[in-house]
Amino acid sequence: MPIKTVGFIGLGVMGASMASLLLGGGYDLTVYNRTKEKAEPLLAKGAKWAETPAEVAASSEVVITIVGYPKDVEDVYLGPNGILEKKKGGYVVDMTTSSPILAKRIFKEAKAKGIAALDAPVSGGDIGARNGQLVIMVGGERQAFNELKPLFELMGRTIRYFGEAGAGQYTKMVNQIAIASGMVGVAEAVAFAKKAGLDVTEVIETISGGAAASWTLSNLAPRMNRGDTAPGFYIKHIIKDMKIALECAEEMHLELPGLTLAKRLYDQLSARGMEDCGTQTLIQWYMKQ
């Protein structure tokens, strides 16, 4: 039978938009967030409120989560009043960028209770979440992926299945390695253009049509140029992601000097009190030397 009831946990910069798309898609939506005020716009549109993750799970065929850190994921799924405490059958989907090891653990514990678990982290930031244009990378059982694809299609434009539990998270680490190292290159390019006295807007538009083209250059370099530090993705979260990726790389005996440099620069910005700024704020490391 078609899925009708969906629970959504985590209504931050991306989660609120993703939940709104599901509500607009006709699903009966129940939501939970640590701060209830962030749920108010969705409640005004017809979503239901739950007091705990367990309460969301009890009333939803599918529960989707996108929270901050692996510890938050662990608490939401496995802690007291967590999702797996009350969930009976159905599906759970963690869209947080989290640990592949934790994704495998949740899959195993969910399966023991007759629940299909997917790890499905996303890329695309606040813009992609608002427009339903996210990239969604999925690990878990293919049958569950196929059954939930209509939900993913409301939130994303590129949806790929990569294999067993944890594969989605490993793929997201590939994405974050490319983004973090690439952000260093874009920030350096913008800083250089500024120091050279060029019209930075013209430079960005020009080189975006050639081999330097990238999503970061087109979407975040203009924010760098105008000093916009608003978060589409927080510095504190890219630091978390880089830490996970470096831990995975260490297990693989793989050195990642580009990622190591990017983490060091972001760590320095965080130490300046910028952890809640957007990742494009890396430009300030160069402009305030």
Residues annotated as catalytic are: 172
How buried is residue 37: exposed, middle or buried, by Cβ count under 10 Å (0-12/13-18/19+)? exposed
Pairing of strands 122-123, 134-139: antiparallel
- Residue with the two structure tokens 């916009």: 228
Please give the Cα distance from 79 to 85 (Å, whole number): 8
Q: What DSSP assignment string belongs to 222-273? A: HHHHHT----SSBHHHHHHHHHHHHHHHHHTT---HHHHHHHHHHHHHHHTT
CA nearest to 171, candidates 143, 142, 138, 215: 138
